[in-house]
Amino acid sequence: MDEIVKQALRKWPNVPHCWGWLGLDARGNWFLRDDATQAKGNFPHSKGERLEHAGLREFIERNYTHDDTGQWFFQNGPQRVYVELAIAPWIWRLSRMESTPENACEAQSPGRVEIKSHTGLATQFLQALEDEEGWLYLLTGLGLGLVHTQDMWQAAACLEDVWPVPEKISRSMLAERFGFVLSPKNQHDAVKK
């Protein structure tokens, strides 16, 4: 978390949280969702405006985390901006490992890849899962995430060479099993009633 964010939290500890205004799609894109967008429906069916400003995206990604209930948020100074998730809290990008003296043999295997989150954090493979529509998820040291569609060819090579066969799972069971909330806004609204 950025130091300026920590300072703001100390200075203004009781700023109300923000619900429904930020979404993360299945390709790791951030979407700003104003009142009009939210009135048209839940994320991702009503996405809003894709966030293109590189500096703002980087700020969000450095300050992206979750609470104890599995709700993911961006800590924006003293305010938590809860994130509506299209599918999972992480979107994994895969890239070939660079060959170094320590991993020269591993790097030559087509299945050896580096796994990074949509926020740029590197992580380690633990397990592969596949839902009823054939979408591939990886459980890693950071948690559960979806493999980015552009990286499926690398994931396929890993499944052939290195990773075990994916566990079959219903998409509807992912959030409960892996402890994340797809729509913090819907959960918040339900509690308010």
Class of the 3-87+179-192 domain?
Answer: alpha beta
Distance between first and last Cα of the chain: 33
Task: In the chain, list all ranges with CATH 3.10.540.
Answer: 3-87+179-192
Per-residue pLDDT, 47: 96
How do residues 121-165 score in pLDDT, each as one tens digit?
999 999 999 999 999 999 999 999 999 999 999 999 999 888 999
How do residues 25-75 score in pLDDT, each as one tens digit?
999 999 999 999 999 999 999 999 999 999 999 999 999 999 999 999 999
Contacts of 10 (CB under 8 A, 6+ apart): none
Q: Which residue has the higher pLDDT, 119 or 110?
A: 119
Tokens of 112: 């050896």
Whole-number Å distance between alpha carbons of 97 and 42: 38
Whole-number Å distance between alpha carbons of 78 and 15: 6
The side-by-side arrangement of strands in the sheet containing 49-50 is 49-50, 30-32, 18-24, 79-85, 72-76, 64-66
pTM, full prediction: 0.86
Tokens of 97: 């490992």
